Structure 1
């Protein structure tokens, strides 16, 4: 593998067009090697998330605990990811992308070893927290692609990476369950550790080294710390509101902490010479609509696919009465599998027709699918078709476009800021959506499922409206 001698420092200046800057960027075989290397990195994270899920009951039982005790195994993993994305993403502006990727994989490797050897559940949960840092690899991968690939292949490469967001065509969860049943849950972590080591070796050989040019100043650790506190508070506020109720004293205390920590972050950023992300950017159409669109779309669509329809399809009295495995095969696997092929095509389309058009098409057509699922919630075939179509419009068009735009619209002086913050928004949106529909879907009635689906429709409609405010990347005409 060859290491490029130069490192590009900004996203493609003209979307979909050949630029003079492209002469110093990668194409052909070298581009394919870089994409493949980054794909290994994001797979290390994704398999950590998806393969462990079916093994959660066995993990709890192996330590003599009930199923509920396994919840932190996943929640701490995703909490660490929400924090690591913005912090390590921005830090990579100063220490270099390759160093940041190796740092992330090193922390994940240490966490994986701890999970393999953990004699107690608390130690395993600590290992999962360290593993969750690997979530930052997605944002870092998108930035590396924008800085090193020719504009004509940038969109397709973003689609390839985005395709892994939904898992490996649904097969990873099945394989994880099979491994847990036959070899024990620790075998999953062994596979992840081997993949992490391979990814790190490839990154050393393939990803350019050195600090990106044009980035001045030093890491804003005060901003990073205050943002991390805010993310912790908002995560626990969302989960606490679902468990204890929105008016419970503990929930109100978490709400107060959320507001106070965000206010502290805002004030800190106003006073820093080189902030994590400048307040003026947070107020601009380049930033806040991207974040809001991500949160709202995840809140609407994720809740439909991964919560409401799962309960509906397995309800023997007011749903479709399917087994858990058949429900996953019919309603989860098709969308994930379609997304694997649709996302790269969506990136190719975004390069040629425009990122904003692709985003709005993805959000609008996802809304149409949500409306169809809500309107015909008592028809198994109609719901199946609507969910499968989300593999094209949500897993394909939306996820590719929003991730590409987070790179293209990030401030020049902080190119990793928006991808990192946007990455954290995925978990916040997904959690919020489930919390909002859970009280209605949990009623296990036809009316309850329909209400939950229509709530998701309303949230997705709000996402589409907000997407209309997203600014176009430089050089793209609407």
Structure 2
């Protein structure tokens, strides 16, 4: 039975579409909006980055092994993968501000649960609730597109993309310092305070009301099927990396992923107002964006955040660095460079074109990956390659792909593609690590080089796919 109805639209507090009422912002009003969204995005991002160095302390506190503690992060990112597509599309009916406030409220509830959790399962439950706030990225990009002048949209997307990498790479360090000094719960207290500030900023600055042109109701059947697919594919990748790809449990998860995606496809074909129409999924506006995101993350994320980390800390066949020095040389510079490169990339995209910026970012990310593989035995060559990726991956690619996900999203479902694209980041990152782990995990020079070249190959495919991405309306390729 088709359960869609126009009743969903009654959730919005305003009777008239907000987008039709709100003028485009510039100057100080635009700056206030960007600042409010940065605070909202930071409240999520610090949840992701600051807790990582505190994981050993959490395990010790609850007497849990590494596998159990790993759920503190895995459940957080799984919730983010599910919430992005759902909240992005739902915001088309309830309004962007209402959706932002909803995800921030859920995150606040999860944070309070994490602060008070007496057991690890309750802490994991709190982390799942916190992960829902991942949708704030997609919502923020949509708000910027709907409210800012075209001339500053790209720069504002770059600013938010820069925050996606954390606070210049030092947030993880401060998370570890806080855990050592005050205990891991102090991190959640900071996050809760920032969330409260973000709620105030959103209420004060973000325009309310329902977007113009929205009609029908939320496709909850499609959202459910897509969520099942995302859960199944996430656990398939995770289990395949540990239990093996031929393991019966792994194959069962693959079958569940295929079945849920088939169900999603069939549901979307029958809905009058689908989560995303099937003909959009087949168009060059949608599938190349999603595929480029998954493949580029699979290639580059695995290099920066996995293979090079192992290589740099290997005393026998690597550079023999401590964990802190390794982070200082190979993680912090790329993140810090991205903070400055991302707004520049957005400024260039506004003036020279989003498609060109994407292809430059992807092509030069490929060059940086190849340099790391070619000179894997030279610490400073690898350092230079990773810094180079800070410019063209953290800066150009992330800004362009996020901007294009908004600009190319179907007009009848403007919140859908940003949400699905956001979910694709986690899938791509997990997939990349899983693919190279058997080689990098050997701990040999040949294993590290093989892992790097596999990542180069994946990134090369990503560049080829990026050539199929359609140009936004009015932009020449």
Q: TM-score, normalised by structure 2?
A: 0.96
Cα distance between partner residues in 1 of 2:305 and 2:475: 34
CA positional deviation for 1:185: 0.2
On the 8 A contact 1:360/1:468 being kept in 2, the answer is: yes
Paired position in structure 2 for 1:454: 453
- Cα deviation, residue 66, structure 1: 2.5
**Distance across 2 between alignment mates of 1:239 and 1:177:** 26
Contact (CA 8 Å) 2:152, 2:347: kept in 1 or not?
A: yes
Q: Partners of 1:118 and 1:459 in 2: how far apart?
A: 41
1:244 corresponds in structure 2 to: 243
Query: What is the match of residue 71 of structure 1?
Result: 70
Given the alignment, which residue of 8, 12, 31 partners 2:19?
8
Partner Cα distance (1:65, 1:448) in 2: 31
What TM-score, normalized to structure 1?
A: 0.96
Paired position in structure 1 for 2:185:
186
Aligned to 1:166: 165
State whether structure 2 residue 437 is matched by structure 1 residue 426. Answer: no
Unpaired stretches in structure 2, ≥5 consecutive residues: 1-15
What is the SS of the residue equivalent to 1:166?
Answer: coil
Report the count of equivalent residues: 462
Find the counterpart in structure 1 of residue 101 from structure 2: 102
Deviation at 1:164, TM superposition (A): 1.1
Say yes or no: does 1:371 pair with 2:382. no
Report the counterpart of residue 300 of structure 1 in structure 2: 299
Report deviation, 1:8.
3.4
Other-structure match for 2:394: 395
Q: For the residues of structure 1 that align with 2:381 and 2:59, how far apart are their CA atoms?
A: 37
Distance 2:100 2:174 in 1: 27
Task: Show the counterpart of 2:338.
Answer: 339
Q: Per-residue deviation at 1:216? A: 1.1
Do the aligned residues in 1 keep the contact of 2:361 with 2:397 (CA within 8 Å)? yes
Are the equivalent residues in 1 in contact too, given 2:17–2:210 (CA < 8 A)?
no
Q: Distance in 1 between matches of 2:96 and 2:315?
A: 51
Deviations 1:42-86 (A, max 9, x none): 000000000000000101111122333210000000000000000
2:110 alignment partner, SS class: helix
**3-state SS of 2:462 partner:** helix
Residue number in structure 1 paired with 2:261: 262
The answer for the alignment partner of 2:318 in structure 1 is 319
The question of whether the paired residues in 2 share the 8 Å contact of 1:7 and 1:147 is answered with no
State whether structure 2 residue 426 is matched by structure 1 residue 415: no
Give distance in 2, aligned partners of 1:475 and 1:7. Answer: 25
- What secondary structure does 1:8 align onto? helix
Residue 35 in structure 1 maps to residue 34 in structure 2 = yes
1:6 deviates by 8.4
**Rounded Cα–Cα distance in structure 2 between residues aligned with 1:151 and 1:62:** 50
In the aligned structure 2, how far is the partner of 1:342 from the partner of 1:317? Answer: 35
Distance in structure 1 (CA, Å) of the matches to 2:49 and 2:17: 36
Structure 1 residues 391-400 or 163-172, which shifts more?
Answer: 163-172
- Contact 1:159–1:345 (CA under 8 A) maintained in structure 2: yes
1:8, 1:25 within 8 Å by CA — same for their partners in 2? Answer: no
Q: Map of 1:108-123 to 2, 5 A cutoff?
A: 108-123=107-122
Does structure 2 retain, via aligned residues, the 8 Å contact 1:6–1:24?
A: no
Give the CA deviation at 1:102.
0.2
- Partner Cα separation in structure 1 for residue 341 and residue 64 of structure 2: 41
In structure 2, the partner of 1:15 is: none
Query: Secondary structure at the residue paired with 2:318?
Result: coil
Once the two structures are superposed, the pairs formed by residues 221-240 of structure 1 within 5 Å of their partners are 221-240=220-239
1:165 offset after TM fit, Å?
1.2
Query: In the aligned structure 2, how far is the partner of 1:209 from the partner of 1:471?
Result: 31
* Distance in 2, Cα, partners of 1:6 & 1:269: 26
1:422-468 C-alpha deviation (Å, 9 max, x unpaired): 00000000000000000000000000000000000000000000000
Distance 2:248 2:68 in 1: 24
Gaps of 5+ in 1: 10-20
Alignment match, 1:443: 442
- Distance verdict in 2 for CA 1:275–1:6, change over 3 Å: closer
CA contact (8 A) 1:159 1:343 kept: yes
CA contact (8 A) 1:237 1:255 kept: yes
Residue 205 of structure 1, CA deviation: 0.7
CA deviations on 1:326-360 (whole Å, 9 max, x unpaired) are 00000000000000000000000000000000000
List structure 1 segments (4+ residues) > 3 angstroms apart after TM superposition.
Answer: 5-9
Quote the Cα distance in structure 2 between the aligned partners of 1:69 and 1:100.
32
- Paired position in structure 2 for 1:310: 309
Matched with 2:136 is: 137
